[in-house]
Amino acid sequence: MYICAMKTTNLNLSVVISLFNEEESLAELTEWISRVASGMNLSYEIILVDDGSTDASWKVVCELGKQNPAIRGIRHRRNYGKSAALFNGFKEAAGEVVITMDADLQDSPDEIPELYRMITEEGWDIVSGWKQKRLDNKLTKNLPSKLYNWTARRITGISLHDMNCGLKAYRSEVVKSIEVYGEMHRYIPYLAKNEGFTRITEKPVHHSKRKYGKSKFGMERFINGFLDLLSLWFLSTFGKKPMHFFGFTGLLTFLVGFVCAVWIIVEKLVAQSHALPYRPVTDQPGFFLALTALILGVLLFLAGLLGEMISRNSQERNHYNISEKF
């Protein structure tokens, strides 16, 4: 990872932008952000995280940094993904308020003043953008997005219409308290909620058509996003108490198998004692299903036990965020 420009401290605003092959839009975007931030009389920085671009994006970033000292650049040696870019951007951000947006000019910097005000004056932890009127293809983007967001609302319990919107504002404490990894950038509000930041709201924002290049995400993002959501839900619910899930499920499965096996054996013995016709236990499919349940129950219980042993030896086992103390 390369970093150009020196880190500053005690700023009002940090704008973190993840980019991949966006050389055409960077000059226009940074000039627009600078104009808006200067009009608000804020001290600010623009952190451009080049996630292993193969075009001239990094060269453009360095040239912009020479022209404007508020622009800082971070370059990954290869493409790691948006989550990695945001993680490194958050780590370097020095602003009281941190705003993220995409580099493709689909997010408008004119939204920054209101997002900043909602964080600093209304006291929200996170303000998420909501693209009410999307200009994407309805079949490939809008409909899958609606289904994805409906599912996310049900699982996370956070009432956001556009969980994956790249335009968001955060209090600095939020981004310094969470770890964004894998492809979890879609669920930063959920990560923050699990760390105790519950003041989360949304704001309708303007959405523009992509001006340069093409989208870097395909339909697979919805499938991957759903799987990531399930993983995140499971880890946040049972990450520090795996026995509660695997142990309970294992015991339940074992008991069902045990009761069924005993029932089949007793039924056979009763029929045999009364000289009634009966089927041998090993000729009954139900017996093998019960045996399978018994084995699965034991395996699930052992998985929970191993999970507990791993959790108890984890360095994160007693990691808690403390908001205040005296």
Q: Is residue 318 part of a domain?
A: no
Low-confidence residues of the chain, pLDDT below 70?
Answer: 1-9, 134-142, 212-222, 225-226, 239, 311-326
Q: Is residue 126 part of a domain?
A: yes
Which of 238, 270, 293 corresponds to the end of one domain? 238
- Give the pLDDT score at 172: 95
Give yes or no: residues 228 and 268 share one domain. no
Dihedral sign, Cα of residue 69, residue 75, residue 79, residue 81: negative
- Give the pLDDT score at 310: 76
- Burial of 157 (C-beta count, 10 Å sphere; 0-12/13-18/19+): exposed
- Give the pLDDT score at 208: 79
Give yes or no: residues 135 and 188 share one domain. yes
Q: Is residue 325 part of a domain?
A: no
The token pair at 118 is: 């909602």
Give yes or no: residues 297 and 230 share one domain. no
Residues spanned by the domain of 260: 242-312
Give yes or no: residues 283 and 219 share one domain. no
- Give the pLDDT score at 147: 78
Give yes or no: residues 136 and 182 share one domain. yes
Q: Is residue 323 part of a domain?
A: no
Rounded to whole angstroms, the Cα distance separating 250 from 293 reads: 9
- Report long-range pairs for 145-153 (Cβ below 8 Å, ≥24 apart): 145/222, 147/222, 148/222, 148/225, 148/226, 151/226, 151/229, 152/187, 152/190, 152/229
**What's the structural domain count of the chain?**
2
Give yes or no: residues 22 and 143 share one domain. yes
Give yes or no: residues 207 and 301 share one domain. no
Do 117 and 34 meet the contact criterion of CB atoms below 8 Å apart? no
Q: Is residue 110 part of a domain?
A: yes
HSE at residue 54, side-chain half, CA atoms within 13 A, is 3
- Give the pLDDT score at 267: 87
The CATH number of residue 138's host domain is 3.90.550.10
Give yes or no: residues 101 and 196 share one domain. yes
- Give the pLDDT score at 167: 94
Give yes or no: residues 44 and 184 share one domain. yes
The token pair at 280 is: 């041998």
Give yes or no: residues 112 and 218 share one domain. yes
Give yes or no: residues 149 and 34 share one domain. yes
Which of 238, 255, 273 corresponds to the end of one domain? 238
Q: Is residue 321 part of a domain?
A: no
Which of 184, 218, 238 corresponds to the end of one domain? 238
Q: What share of the chain is helix, strand, coil (3-state, %, to 5)?
A: 50, 15, 35
Query: Which residues lie closer than 8 Å to 24 by C-beta, 6 or more apart?
Result: 211, 212, 213
* pTM score above 0.75: no
- Give the pLDDT score at 220: 63
Helices 242-273 + 220-238 axis angle, to 10: 90
Q: Is residue 324 part of a domain?
A: no
Give yes or no: residues 160 and 112 share one domain. yes
